[in-house]
Structure 1
Amino acid sequence: MTHAAPEGELTLQTVAFPKDTNSGGDIFGGWVISQMDIAAGTTAAQRAKGRCSTVAIEAMRFHAPILVGDLVSVYTQITKTGRTSITMHVETWVRRQRTGEIAMVTEGDFTFVAIEKSGVKRELPPE
């Protein structure tokens, strides 16, 4: 479901460049997911006070393409924590370079697990 305004905290902002396009000339979906994972990983690491790993990406929805030159903003919001896991809703919004229009283009739910340096799961610290 789309929203009138971003939900969550602005976590990452970048500009889409020609090198990030697919064969149709729009920004490649894999690039978008990568930006979302970077932003979500930052939020997860802050909450976990350390290293985290992505374990699931669910319910990805692509509402509109991202165009070259768009200002891409990724918002994250923790929706659930478990003993070792953090789940969050991630939204990608753009400001269109040519028109100034602002729109949500992608959203999804990401789950991370807190891990030790060795890669073994660890419990989340208290908030």
Structure 2
Amino acid sequence: MNVARHSPLIRMIAMPADANPAGDIFGGWLMAHMDLAAASLATRRARNRVVTAAVEAMSFLLPVSVGDEVSFYGEVISTGRTSMKVHVEAWRRRREDEEEFKVTEATFTLVAMGTDRRPAPLPEG
């Protein structure tokens, strides 16, 4: 994914409550925000409610510290009849710097849901 071509789906500031005693942000905090970013994009594509069905493995490349701005970028990489795969990358920027660094990435599988809370077909396009 070329980050320069995309706007972030969401952007967050890592806060002290999100960190361990050493000041490093919990991996679960990153994963939760990545899931939120994936669902935001998938909801627009499905034009309906979506649920997360699976997440492929995550590797943490760099730590995120309290005060870092974390941007979450994503794109739909494939679609099926009721589901889609959304690839999400998390990039951090130190408060005083302009340069961003990728900290992790994962592919989320999300399923479109109908009003009956059962899988629903994705709309065309």
Q: Same fold (TM over 0.5)?
A: yes
Paired residue total: 124
- In structure 1, the partner of 2:50 is 52
- Give 4+ residue runs of structure 1 displaced > 6 Å after superposition: none
2:59 aligns with 61
Q: Distance in 2 between matches of 1:8 and 1:107?
A: 15
SS at match of 1:26: coil
What secondary structure sits across from 2:57 in the alignment?
strand
Partner of 1:96: 94
More off after superposition, 20-29 vs 104-113:
20-29
One-letter amino acid of the structure 1 residue matched with residue 79 of structure 2: T
- Greater percentage in strand: 1
Q: How does 1:3-18 map to 2 (within 5 A)?
A: 5-6=2-3, 8-18=6-16
2:79 aligns with: 81
Q: Percent of aligned pairs with the same residue? A: 43
User: What TM-score do you get using the length of structure 1 for normalisation?
Assistant: 0.90
- Give the alignment's Cα RMSD to 1 decimal: 1.6
Gaps of 5+ in 2: none
1:34-92 deviation per Cα after TM superposition (whole angstroms, max 9, x unaligned): 00000000000000001000000002121011111101100001110000001011000
d(CA) in 2 for partners of 1:89, 1:58: 10
Q: CA separation in 2, counterparts of 1:27 and 1:117? A: 36
Q: Would you say 1:35 and 2:56 are equivalent positions?
A: no
- The secondary structure found in structure 1 opposite 2:37 is helix
Letter in 2 for 1:69: G
Which among 8, 17, 25 is matched to residue 19 of structure 1? 17
Change in CA separation of 1:118 and 1:24 when aligned onto 2, cut-off 3 Å: farther
Take 2:55 and 2:78, find their aligned partners in 1: how far apart are those partners? 14
Residue identity opposite 1:93 in structure 2: W
Q: Which runs of 5+ in 1 are unaligned?
A: none
Query: Using the alignment, how far apart are the partners of 2:99 and 2:107 within structure 1?
Result: 25
Matched residue type, 1:90: V
